[in-house]
Structure 1
Amino acid sequence: MTQPGQDAQPVRGRERLERLGARVERGHDASHVEDAVALIMTAAIPSDHPEVVRARERGIPVLKRADALGAWVNRGCVVGIAGTHGKTTTTAMTTEVLAAAGLDPTGLVGGTVPHWEGNLRAGGSDLFVVEADEYDRSFHTLEPDVAVVTNLEADHLDVYGDLDGVEEGFRVFLRRVRPQGRVAVCGDDAGAARLLPALPGTGYSYGLSAGVQLRAVDVSQRPSGTRARVVEEGRELGDLELGSPGLHNLRNALAAAAVGRHLGASWDQVREGLAAYRGVGRRFQRLGEVAGVALIDDYAHHPTEIQATVRATRDIYPDRRLVAVFQPHLYSRTRDFHREFGRSLAGADVLWVSDVFPAREKPLPGITGALVADAATDAGAVDVRYHEDVASMPEAVAGTLRENDVLLVMGAGSVEDVGPRVKALLTGGADGAVTHA
């Protein structure tokens, strides 16, 4: 296994991979594939990458990760969790529900589940629960028996062009559902709900709105999580207690419940599975409270995700100053959505914005994080600070924090290091001294 990339960062979990017998290399070197029987590459790797070129020269099969995933899981019963947002959380929740029902699934997510010690729950059955990722049309390699669409919005416009292209990509995915399969769609989301008319006999809706088939009612939110009653086809199933905050996570839990019910789980088993769900890394991950500052880390990198995360934080900490840190992800996404980013971030009391994390992309002229900072100011944000270098962000932010603040760090790139480093600074004292209000 090699770790190519612009910054050649170490593979997370490298030591665990090596204990399992994997040889992990760093950097770009054609010699890494000399003895390979196959090369699996993510969609972010260009076709002229030296290891890809060498593999093809030597006749070594080269597969995209999505093709390898489909070849593996399509041999069994597949639950594919699709959507612009919420895939990782919903996949993990669904896996826990099906495990509680005794179905022993294999779950594969795009994040880290702490009690799985990684992104994989290795099951003993032929049931697979996987994220169905729309980027690069990766989910078109899956043949689901059960498909979920959590929501549908414009994203990855570098691939799809516009919202119509995104919708067509999802329709193609749903046409791959096997005969007698089931599609569960969030009826609260306008984009997802538009798919329902094309699903005669297979469509099933869930959410908080009147008219959906699996509905949460009498919803109450508290700092510890969310509580609701759940009704299925007009019949009350019972109460649901969820430790993850926010209505978006309640909808994710309903998606997991819908899959569980379709595959035979009792309501008690659904509740047991959701109680076993203890979160996914960087999905509203609470890093603790240090020196009177609550620290939260989140993967949100789309305007809708940010809006939901900011709202959930406000609901939990209504009387505390909210300091948000955001790193835009991808030049193309920043170009397409900088105004929407600004509006969704404007609810913070203090907003720090860094430059763009490029990931797989090359810079675009005139596209920087300053566009987001300016858009937030235009949207009414009172205190916006553009700090280009995310590496020095922790020291800059820590020095301005006050007792009783909430620090919310958001983004899908190297900003993930900011929360833990601020925590270390606050714990260490002088370098991260907190102002007492």
Structure 2
Amino acid sequence: MYDNYYFIGIGGIGMSAIARYFKHEGKNVSGYDITPSQLTSALEKEGIEVHYEDRPDLIPLNTDNTFVIYTPAIPEDLAELQYVKDKGYAISKRSRALGQITAGKDCLAVSGTHGKTTTSTLLAHILTESGVGCSAFLGGISKNYHSNLLLGDSDALVAEADEYDRSFLQLHPDVAVITYIDADHLDIYGNKQNVVDAFSQFASQIKIGGKLILKEGVDLPLDSIKAKVFRYSFNKPCDFYASDIKPLAEGRFDFCMNYPGGKIEHCTVGVPGWINVENAVAATAVALSYKKINPIRVKNALASFQGVERRMDIRYSDSKKAYVDDYAHHPKEIMSAISSIRNIFPDRKILGIFQPHLYTRTRDFAAEFSQALSGLDSLVMLPIYPARELPITGVFSEMILDKVTINDKTLVQKEDLLEYLSSKDIDVLVTFGAGDIDRFIKPIEDLIKNV
């Protein structure tokens, strides 16, 4: 065991949860990120040293007593990464470190190309509120616990199983759920079949005697899977599904949660949107497949769930205007989000701001993005957020914008966004994206409140 843990890319949502874990374990934790953020500021307040320059001289010198964890999102030519490799530090990707932490625990893994973060956070909340307890490494900041890390005394460990870079193949779950399998991360996988193959391998790694919760309609080869397979659905009868769904105020629903051998009547989820009913079914399926839990406790946990930051996150709402922020960065996520927002705010005009994430994703799904964003009433496109990528010739936000079918659409530079919005008559505003669009959340919220 090491005394020093150093993180390259510490500001990432998954990296920061592991950093917090080792800080809680009494280790010396520090790290680098490219730019300050609300998350890195929180880490610093918790006593974790973070710097924002690529400086190998700030890495702990003791190579024998320092473990380095890095994210594949950082460039290979980063000086700090090259330094730790050259100097012989013990080094691991984030996914491997998470896999090592989950070893010896009852791993409850939440995977899928969409819905992982809300489902895993709901699952952790159900286990916590029901008295089963758990630790959890989440891909977002829980509004109930104000953190992406939960620490409990039980053997249960909830892990968000990320398919990017095949990271989830470091996990060997006791129970796993697969929410969706769509083409994504094609810079890694090349085509959808390779995505399906990776999920199939992940499912085959569920321990003997374990359970797989698979969304109804997801086509996955089951030949190599040792686990017992259950299906879940929003409202199609199967092992776990919602029925008697009735709309309530503010986009919420009353529904009956059906599970093998029983049902929980008059459930509600504490956050709006039909998609969160589906997420609740998935989370409940994992929880009930893991332990026998009092149905009333499940029902109470769903009702008290406050959501996740940047996931259908209603930042402001009154009778005249509203602002919603969402992490959606894939066409299907955007379509689902717009559908839910129209349900929450019926007969309202929706202005969407979208920042494409990655040149490769923009190139690969430009037509699908255009179709999804055409479901808005008005659209503001921002330039592509490159993240780890270099520009690709001919790939710009205009690839999407030009094929959007609504008339009220425009491209705005980030530095001009707030001025542009101040001139608009806003009804419902929503921000979409996985890049640095989150830096605008507070300024937009202030602008909406003061208009």
TM-score, normalization: structure 1? 0.91
Say yes or no: does 1:277 pair with 2:299.
no
| Distance in 1, Cα, partners of 2:302 & 2:378 | 34
| Distance in 2, Cα, partners of 1:229 & 1:34 | 54
1:75-94 Cα distance to aligned partner (Å, 9 max, x none): 21100100000000000000
Aligned pair count reads 420
In the TM superposition, 1:158-307 aligns within 5 A as: 158-187=187-216, 190=217, 192-195=218-221, 199=225, 202-222=228-248, 223-233=250-260, 235-262=262-289, 263-289=291-317, 292-307=320-335
Query: What root-mean-square deviation, in Å, do the aligned CA atoms of Structure 1 and Structure 2 show?
Result: 2.1
Matched with 2:381 is 353
Q: How far did 1:345 drift?
A: 0.8
Residue identity over aligned pairs, in percent, reads: 32
Say yes or no: does 1:372 pair with 2:400.
yes
What is the SS of the residue equivalent to 1:256?
Answer: helix
- Stretches of 4+ moved more than 6 A in 1? none
50-59 or 303-312: bigger deviation: 50-59
Matched with 2:96 is 67
Rate the CA distance shift 1:74–1:212 in 2: closer, same or farther, 3 A: same
Whether the 8 Å CA contact 1:261–1:267 is kept in 2: the answer is no
2:386 maps to a residue whose letter is P
What is the SS of the residue equivalent to 2:144?
Answer: helix
Matched with 1:395 is 419
2:398 maps to a residue whose letter is A
Structure 1 runs not aligned, ≥5 long: none
Rate the CA distance shift 1:193–1:270 in 2: closer, same or farther, 3 A: farther
In the TM superposition, 1:132-143 aligns within 5 A as: 132-143=161-172
Whether the 8 Å CA contact 1:226–1:244 is kept in 2: the answer is no
| Distance in 2, Cα, partners of 1:422 & 1:247 | 26
In the TM superposition, 1:23-172 aligns within 5 A as: 23-35=49-61, 37-172=66-201
Q: How far did 1:25 drift?
A: 1.3
| Distance in 2, Cα, partners of 1:195 & 1:271 | 33
1:122-175 Cα distance to aligned partner (Å, 9 max, x none): 112221101000000000000100010011100001111111000000011111
1:209-260 Cα distance to aligned partner (Å, 9 max, x none): 5441111112123324122112223743322111222222111101111111
Say yes or no: does 1:384 pair with 2:409.
yes
| Distance in 1, Cα, partners of 2:219 & 2:197 | 14
Say yes or no: does 1:343 pair with 2:371.
yes
Structure 2 runs not aligned, ≥5 long: 1-5, 12-31
Rate the CA distance shift 1:69–1:129 in 2: closer, same or farther, 3 A: same
What is the SS of the residue equivalent to 1:136?
Answer: helix
Whether the 8 Å CA contact 2:95–2:167 is kept in 1: the answer is yes
Say yes or no: does 1:417 pair with 2:439.
yes
Whether the 8 Å CA contact 1:214–1:258 is kept in 2: the answer is yes
1:295-331 Cα distance to aligned partner (Å, 9 max, x none): 1100000001000110111112122111111111110
Whether the 8 Å CA contact 2:314–2:323 is kept in 1: the answer is yes
| Distance in 1, Cα, partners of 2:37 & 2:439 | 14
1:417 maps to a residue whose letter is R
169-178 or 16-25: bigger deviation: 16-25
